[in-house]
Amino acid sequence: MLRQNGTYRSKKITAYPMSDFNLVVVADILGIIAFALSGFLIGVRHKLDLLGIGIAASITALGGGVVRDAILNRTPFAFIEYYPAITVLSTIFIAFAFRHKLKDQIERQWLFVISDTIGLVAFSITGALLAMDAGFNFFGVIILSFLTAVGGGVLRDTMINQVPSVLISDFYGSIALIVAILLLITNAFDAAGTLTVALIAAFAVCLRLLAYYKQWHLPKLSTENT
């Protein structure tokens, strides 16, 4: 990582060409679908009206990216490209049409978990790369990666007045932190590149799926006597 004008900048890692329809965009779409569906289900369970359900789904799917771009002082990506909004609206429409066939525990189905994991990893990588490209320090990269990946869910849960699920659920938000740290390490050793990023993505996806299968959780503090 090079130091220029008092700030550190990534030497090789740069932001993804988000306008290109590549694998990252495919993963991004899968993530948006999964996050929008998650927001839809939360809205239904909390008996929100149609507008509330739409807001919950949109915030979950796009909120993290909007917060990321606001921190980066740039126009939110969801406001200048059409496919994020179209994907969210399409997901809401399909979920509404098949709402009676959706199971309450759809979050525990493997198809949902896999797509959600791909989205989580894609958003984590995008956030970290954009942070490094902007010259953020170690903590800035980690925070932006984390906010991009889980920020939408945190905003959604805050809006409906409940503890953000990422703070109490399984091994989920930790993936964003691991991805950011791995990207920082590879960049520090001048080993960053497309292949490296792809390997980190594959590792993060496998780790998340393994954690889900094994039901791994971070340790919790308890005030109860044992």
* C-alpha separations of 67 from 48, 63, 154 in Å: 24, 6, 11
| 89 — pLDDT class (breaks 50, 70, 90) | very high
**32: Cβ–Cβ under 8 A, 6 or more apart, which residues?**
61, 62, 84, 87, 88, 91, 119
Q: What is the pLDDT of residues 38-81, one digit of tens each?
A: 888 888 888 899 999 999 999 999 998 899 999 999 998 889 98
Please check whether residue 223 lies inside any domain of the structure: no
Please check whether residue 78 lies inside any domain of the structure: yes
Please check whether residue 219 lies inside any domain of the structure: no
Q: How far apart are CA 147 and CA 194, in angstroms?
A: 23
Please check whether residue 204 lies inside any domain of the structure: yes
> Which range marks the domain in which residue 66 is found?
21-214
pLDDT of residue 210: 92
Please check whether residue 143 lies inside any domain of the structure: yes
Triad 183, 189, 193: Cα angle to 5°: 55
DSSP assignment of 44-79 equals HHTT--HHHHHHHHHHHHHHHHHHHHHHTTS--GGG
Backbone conformation region of residue 147, classed left if phi is above 0, alpha if psi is from -120 to 50, else beta: alpha
| 14 — pLDDT class (breaks 50, 70, 90) | very low
Q: Which is higher by pLDDT, 213 or 93?
A: 93
Please check whether residue 114 lies inside any domain of the structure: yes
Please check whether residue 52 lies inside any domain of the structure: yes
Number of Cβ within a 10 Å radius of residue 47: 8
Helix (H, G, I), strand (E, B) or coil at 99: helix
Q: What is the pLDDT of residues 149-176, one digit of tens each?
A: 999 888 888 888 888 878 876 678 899 9
Number of Cβ within a 10 Å radius of residue 46: 14
| 3 — pLDDT class (breaks 50, 70, 90) | very low
HEC string of 3-53 equals EECCEEECCCCCCCCCCCCCHHHHHHHHHHHHHHHHHHHHHHHCCCCHHHH
Q: Which is higher by pLDDT, 174 or 23?
A: 174
pLDDT of residue 223: 66
Mean pLDDT of 14-21: 40
Q: Return the amino acid letter for 58.
A: S
189's tokens: 């050793």
| 103 — pLDDT class (breaks 50, 70, 90) | low
Query: For the whole model, what pTM was predicted?
Result: 0.78
**Domain count for the chain:** 1
pLDDT of residue 225: 60
Which residue is it, tokens 């002082």? 73
Q: Which is higher by pLDDT, 189 or 142?
A: 142
| 100 — pLDDT class (breaks 50, 70, 90) | confident
Helix (H, G, I), strand (E, B) or coil at 2: strand
**9: Cβ–Cβ under 8 A, 6 or more apart, which residues?**
1, 2, 3, 132, 133, 135
Q: What is the pLDDT of residues 40-50, one digit of tens each?
A: 888 888 889 99
Please check whether residue 8 lies inside any domain of the structure: no
Number of Cβ within a 10 Å radius of residue 215: 8
